Amino acid sequence: MPRLEPGMARIRVKDLRLRTYIGIKEEEILNKQDVLINLTILYPAQEAVQGNDIGQALNYRTITKEIIRHVEENRFALLERLTQEILDLVMANPQVRYAEVEVDKPHALRFAESVSITLTGHR
């Protein structure tokens, strides 16, 4: 993760729990499963800090709503694809300079709490 430079803000969305179709086995294709999403976003926040106006800030609520809609309305064979599509949604916002997306699939392996994939993007 890049170092937080002066004037930059780090937004973290922690443990966004959604349900979607994810997997390649028949029971995964037929039944929704939980996924747990964590986001880290860096963006220049000088104007938001000075102006105290949401119009000058990165609206994490809007981004999160887009992610919720996308994840819940689509089907994914691979955790990698789901993670990339979420990263693409976040990076579509021109204010975002860096994003890290981690998606956990709880109980994907018999003796593990979860399996996760992490992808990053920057400009």
pLDDT in tens, 9-61: 999 999 999 999 999 999 888 999 999 999 999 999 998 888 888 888 999 99
- Indicate whether 1 belongs to any domain: no
Residue 30 belongs to a domain: yes
CATH of the domain at 32: 3.30.1130.10
Domain total in the chain: 1
> Which letter does DSSP use for residue 55 in this model?
G
In a domain, 3, yes or no: no
By CB atoms closer than 10 A (0-12, 13-18, 19+), residue 37 is buried
Show the domain range for 107.
8-122
In this structure, the number of other CB atoms found within 10 A of the CB of residue 69 comes to: 12
Which are the contacts of 48, defined by CB distance < 8 A and separation ≥ 6? 9, 56, 57, 58
pLDDT digit string, tens, across residues 58-94: 999 999 999 999 999 999 999 999 999 999 999 999 9
In this structure, the number of other CB atoms found within 10 A of the CB of residue 61 comes to 9
- Residue 42 in any domain: the answer is yes
